[in-house]
Amino acid sequence: MIDKIQVLLAEDHQTVREGIKMIINAEEDMSVIGEADNGREVINLAEKLNPDVILMDISMPELNGLIATAKLKRTLPEIKILTLTRHTDNAYLQELLQAGVNGYLLKQSAASELLRAIRVVTSGGNYLDPEL
């Protein structure tokens, strides 16, 4: 039996979150172990669940993905964070890289690219969307 990549989803739009969860859970080597719809919740769940990777939206209520990423990287520096966003602005990318993200993927990417990015990040690599 293979160890599954444990993914924590942080996305405030339920339909998007459910779709991503279906894509990930369809893979033999991946499993969604938790879901958050705001930045505060993702921090709490990350501390409790210790996922292999967090798939983090930027624009979320209560605490945005950038602030949540910075806080998580201070308290759990080994945690892998892959940003999933619609933002193509280089300023977001630079801020997130400074906060310590391991990957940056655009929401308009294909499901296969999402899965590839998760695997790259969890294996210790960095991932940058080819469209940027």
pLDDT, tens digit (0-9, with 9 covering 90-100), for 4-48: 999 999 999 999 999 999 999 999 999 999 999 999 999 999 999
Domain count, the chain: 1
What average pLDDT does the structure give for the chain?
A: 94
Q: What is the pLDDT of residue 56?
A: 96
The boundaries of the domain holding residue 15 are 5-50+63-109+121-128
40 within a domain of the structure (yes/no) = yes
Name the residue with higher pLDDT: 62 or 92.
Answer: 62
CATH number at residue 17: 3.40.50.2300
30 within a domain of the structure (yes/no) = yes
57 within a domain of the structure (yes/no) = no
pTM for the model: 0.94
Q: Supply the DSSP string of the chain, one letter for each residue.
A: -PPPEEEEEE-S-HHHHHHHHHHHHTSTTEEEEEEESSHHHHHHHHHHH--SEEEE-SS-SSS-HHHHHHHHHHH-TT-EEEEEES---HHHHHHHHHHT-SEEEETTS-HHHHHHHHHHHHTT--EE-TT-
